[in-house]
Amino acid sequence: MSGFDETFDFVVAGSGGGSMCAALVARSAGKTALVLEKTELLGGTTCKSGGVMWIPNNPFMAKAGVPDSLEAGTKYLDAVVGDHNDAPGASKARRQAFLENGPRMLDFLMGQGLKFSRITSWPDYYDEAPGGSVPGRTVVADLFDANELGDKAALLRPNFLPMPVSLEDALQLPHVKKSWPAKKALVRMGFRIILSKLTGKRYVTAGAALQGRMMKAAIQAGVDLRNNSPVKELIVEDGAVVGVVTEKDGKPWRVGARLGVLVNAGGFALNQAMRDTYMPGSSIINTSVTEGDTGEMIQEMMRHGAAIAQMDSFVGSPLTMPPGAEHWPMKPGVQGVTAAPHAIMVDQTGVRYMNEGGSYTEYCQRMMERNKEAPAIPSWAIFDNRVMKNVMIAGTMPGSKKPDAWTESGYLHTADTIEGLAASLKIDPATLRGTVDRFNGFVGQNNDADFHRGAREYDKWLGDPFHKPNQTLGEIAEGPFHAVPVIPGDVSTLGGVVCDEKARVLRADGKPIKGLYATGTSAASVMGRTSPGSGVNIGPSFVFGYLAAKDAVAAG
Ligand SMILES: Cc1cc2nc3c(=O)[nH]c(=O)nc-3n(C[C@H](O)[C@H](O)[C@H](O)COP(=O)(O)OP(=O)(O)OC[C@H]3O[C@@H](n4cnc5c(N)ncnc54)[C@H](O)[C@@H]3O)c2cc1C
């Protein structure tokens, strides 16, 4: 190899979920490692996110006496993801590699000083499926004081939760009026705010705690982390990837990679041209990813022969967009409204067509399927006044007065009767009345005979834990009645380059491109087109980053 401005053993393009995990593996084998991040800030969408990793059979479950096993995880992914020929990212071999290496990856990171715990209750999204877990398989990083990063603290990307609260506590806060654990969570947060003021600590949570802790470990281990360093090209010699072209001081800078290059540069949620090609009809406006998620590294890998798959799929995020929300970096979710008791969702003809609980990815897929039969984008969240009083709507506090612009723009509709609401929505009043009456009948029987909402634990988890007998089923009966539009948004794309169980990037003929690895949303997801539980994007990104570096070190 020649003509490089500098050379490392292992080079990572993008500072996503698996990037620093991979770099730490390389460092632990005595190899040099460089992470190149295009934007000003490190950590990617992972840093902004919940930071939850879905790791079946993780050590925190065993410690808490929560049953799980490799066999249960296998059964579950077999049932929920399955062997689809059109989802090669989710091959049986990759699913197995993910399941077997998740706990090993965690052990490795804990050995590097990382601190994790589990959320005590976050059911798998198909908990009723064979091998499903009701307590859930989530792992999160403990709160982190960003000051521990010293002069690199300013490079850590902010999280969507700008509060010093653990995710476990944050999940309690919406129930603060009714729940003692929630009140305690609020007190803990208040105490931490005071402590931060007194001591100067700067707690970050969720994805920023995860990536902050990863940055700290990476810096301590001697990983070279560089921001404002876009990877522009892969350098290929004799069919093998041997380095990258990045930028230094605005000029091209060639970096050699003796053992290989890992691409962890996100998906293409902000690339409208790629959306138009692979997900026609979808828009960059309805995503909450960070600004670097523009897909060019997927295109660069394709240029060198990488196969792609699952490009039509995304991690769903049901949204409601009040006026101005198209400019919000975090688009407002709405499943907490439609899965609350006393709420449903209907298409534009007033017909209910799905379980309003369940996986957010499936929720959005169902909206799009329905839209082929009847106008369903947007659909309407229909709810009674109890939801208005008790649930956050588009980022506003429960029960708060809603902005006048909401009604003036036709975003929020309100009427004293269901028929009046239907008229306001230009829906046939008898149809909407019939839909609501039918749902109310199911509530009386505690059995949603049409769509089985509330039969699985995850549906209930999305509802109100204090609502009896079913946390997600309640009559729509107390006026005034309200409606807001619902659209299928996203928090990531699921398609990317096809990789094998070692995270090696494959050509269409199934042969690996020597020296090239991919993980995270740059790769076609090991979950196929599904979201089986919370953390199924970040967990695999870490695991396949871990495996990529192991393979590169072993092969080198
Ligand atoms: C609010 C929110 C909450 C979420 N919560 C969760 C959750 O709890 N658990 C979960 O599993 N998923 C969650 N998701 C989805 C999840 O965050 C993403 O799917 C995941 O973080 C993607 O990680 P990644 O490893 O692909 O890389 P990313 O974290 O997307 O990082 C990729 C990085 O590569 C950089 N990059 C891009 N191109 C280049 C280039 N050419 N050169 C150098 N760098 C480049 C980007 O700027 C970016 O920093 C959430 C998403 C959002 C928006």
Helix (H, G, I), strand (E, B) or coil at 126: coil
Residue 486 covered by a domain:
yes
From 77-86, 174-183, 241-250, 439-448, the region with the lowest mean pLDDT: 174-183
Nearest 10 degrees: Cα torsion 237, 306, 290, 244: 0
Residue of 11, 41, 45 best suited for mutating to test ligand 1, as the one with most atoms within 8 Å of CB: 45
Residue 12 covered by a domain:
no
Q: For the chain, how many structural domains are there in total?
A: 1
Length of the chain: 556
The C-alpha atoms of residue 85 and residue 355 are separated, in whole angstroms, by 27
Whether the CB of 448 sits within 6 Å of ligand 1: no
Whether the CB of 295 sits within 6 Å of ligand 1: no
Residue 56 covered by a domain:
no
Per the prediction, the chain carries an average pLDDT of 96
The amino acid present at 380, given as its one-letter code, is W
Helix (H, G, I), strand (E, B) or coil at 491: strand
- Non-local (6+) Cβ contacts of 251 within 8 A are none
The token pair that represents 100 in the structure block:
């077997």
Report the pLDDT averaged over residues 398-407. 95
Q: Which residue lies with its CA nearest to atom 8 of ligand 1?
A: 50
pLDDT band at 151 (very low <50, low <70, confident <90, very high): very high
Q: Which residue lies with its CA nearest to atom 9 of ligand 1?
A: 535
Report the pLDDT averaged over residues 453-462. 98
Residue 441: give its domain's CATH number: 3.90.700.10
Whether the CB of 315 sits within 6 Å of ligand 1: yes
Residue 262 covered by a domain:
no
Residue 25 covered by a domain:
no
pLDDT at residue 306 in the model = 98
The C-alpha atoms of residue 397 and residue 293 are separated, in whole angstroms, by 31
Q: How far is the CA of 444 from the centre of ligand 1 (A)?
A: 43
pLDDT digits (tens, 9 = 90+) for 208-255: 999 999 999 999 999 999 999 999 999 999 999 999 999 999 999 999
pLDDT band at 163 (very low <50, low <70, confident <90, very high): confident
pLDDT band at 2 (very low <50, low <70, confident <90, very high): low
- Whole-model pTM: value is 0.97
Q: Which residue lies with its CA nearest to atom 47 of ligand 1?
A: 292
Question: Looking at 103-237, which runs of residues are DSSP E strands?
Answer: 116-117, 138-141, 144-145, 203-204, 224-226, 233-237
The amino acid present at 455, given as its one-letter code, is A
Question: 3-state SS of 436-488?
Answer: HHHHHHHHHHCCCCCCCCCCCHHHHHHCCCCCCCCCCCCCCCCCCEEEEEEEE
Question: Is 262 within 8 Å of 503 (Cβ atoms)?
Answer: yes
Q: Which residue lies with its CA nearest to atom 46 of ligand 1?
A: 292
Structural domain including 424 reads 315-490
Distance, C-alpha 132 to centroid of its chain? 19
pLDDT at residue 1 in the model = 54
**Could you tell me what percent of the chain has a pLDDT over 90?**
93
Whether the CB of 17 sits within 6 Å of ligand 1: yes
Tokens 């879905």 -> residue: 54
Residue 375 covered by a domain:
yes
Residue 328 covered by a domain:
yes
Question: Is 124 within 8 Å of 136 (Cβ atoms)?
Answer: yes
Whether the CB of 204 sits within 6 Å of ligand 1: no
> What is the phi/psi pair of residue 142, to 5°?
-70, 155
Q: Which residue lies with its CA nearest to atom 17 of ligand 1?
A: 46
Nearest 10 degrees: Cα torsion 97, 98, 101, 106: 170
Residue 418 covered by a domain:
yes
Is residue 288 packed enough to be buried (19+ CB in 10 Å), middle (13-18) or exposed (0-12)?
Answer: buried
Question: Is 56 within 8 Å of 511 (Cβ atoms)?
Answer: no
